[in-house]
Amino acid sequence: MTAVIMPAVTPPLLLPQLAFLSPDRLLILLVIPLLVLGYIFASRRKNRRGMRFTNTSMLDVVVPKQSQWRRHLAVALSLLSLITLTAAFARPKTQVNVPRERATIVVVIDASLSMQATDVQPNRLAAAKQAAIAFVKSLPEKYNVAVVSMAGNPSILVPPTLAHNTVENAINTIQLQESTAIGEGIITALRALEQAPKDPSNPTAVAPGAIVLLSDGSNTAGRAPLQAAAEAKNAKVPIYTIAYGTENGYVDLDGKREPVPVDHQQMQQIADASGGQYFRAATPEQLKTVYANIGSQVGYEKADREVTARFAGYGLAFAVLAALGAISLGAKWP
């Protein structure tokens, strides 16, 4: 499951995934073609009757000339009013994003020495911290958030908590360490999820959980990442992996320059094995966009919402305009 970088989602002008609670009522719309045909027939018959008059000046006196476009517009608005009011009568509904009531998110940040690469300014780790803090701020207040620092010996810096300020402070304290144990980092994140507080109103309920793992993707210690990802899948915990950095990254260790390219393949395999989703980011701006996309997925869920009132409002607006058009046809303008 590969995700591409996309700009922040904006609501479309049209209602997405529109459905109706009483779709049988839409059969009323079958009247619309009959009304259109009737209007066309009446217009043509009126034109044929008008052609019988040879004295057009007398015709203008007897039957004042009407504006054709105003008459057509009034009819069109009337039909639009009938269509939208019928749609409202059928009780339309659409799906909207609503915040989840409860969930636990574990943010895992790679703190290995490769994260000091400066291919992302000021360096990978510093940029990752800033984006992760912004991500935590965007999550619903009812979400429990935990932080895991991942290096050779991953550790839980903050267990699941509603105090998001504490989480942000913990992210700022992450320091570079040797080695990268991605598999151990995933297992540590699963242990953090087990510490999530229970819902007092429903202690037996298991709140949904997810792991957001940011790394340059090169495992050097501990158990195999795919083995840990399989355990996450068995626990029904998806892993959202973010491969962060570029192919040109390098670090200077003991006076020797070591290349640290991002291992995109491993990060994608981890996401696929866990039932999660894979992202890539090569700049701080892309990383913010990735976190925004992840936040929209883990922080919200789809829910049906009836939009009858909206369609009724459209129908009323069209009806008012049609009435104004009919009045203009009957009025004598100077």
Nearest Cα residue to 182 out of 231, 110, 107: 110
Q: How confident is the model at residue 278 (pLDDT cuts 50, 70, 90)?
A: very high
State the DSSP string of 239-307.
EEEEEES-TT-EEEETTEEEE----HHHHHHHHHHHT-EEEEESSHHHHHHHHHHHHHHHSEEEEEEE-
Global confidence as pTM: 0.64
Distances (CA, A) of 314 to 64, 80, 309: 33, 9, 9
Pair type for strands 155-161 and 144-150: antiparallel
From CA 220, how far away is CA 108, in angstroms rounded?
Answer: 17
Q: Is residue 99 over pLDDT 80?
A: no
304-315: pLDDT as tens digits: 778 888 888 888
pLDDT score recorded for residue 18:
82
254: left (phi over 0), alpha (psi -120 to 50) or beta: left
Give the helix/strand (H/E) hosting 59: helix 56-62
Percentage of the chain lying above the pLDDT 70 cut = 81
Give the helix/strand (H/E) hosting 145: strand 144-150
Q: Is residue 12 over pLDDT 50?
A: no
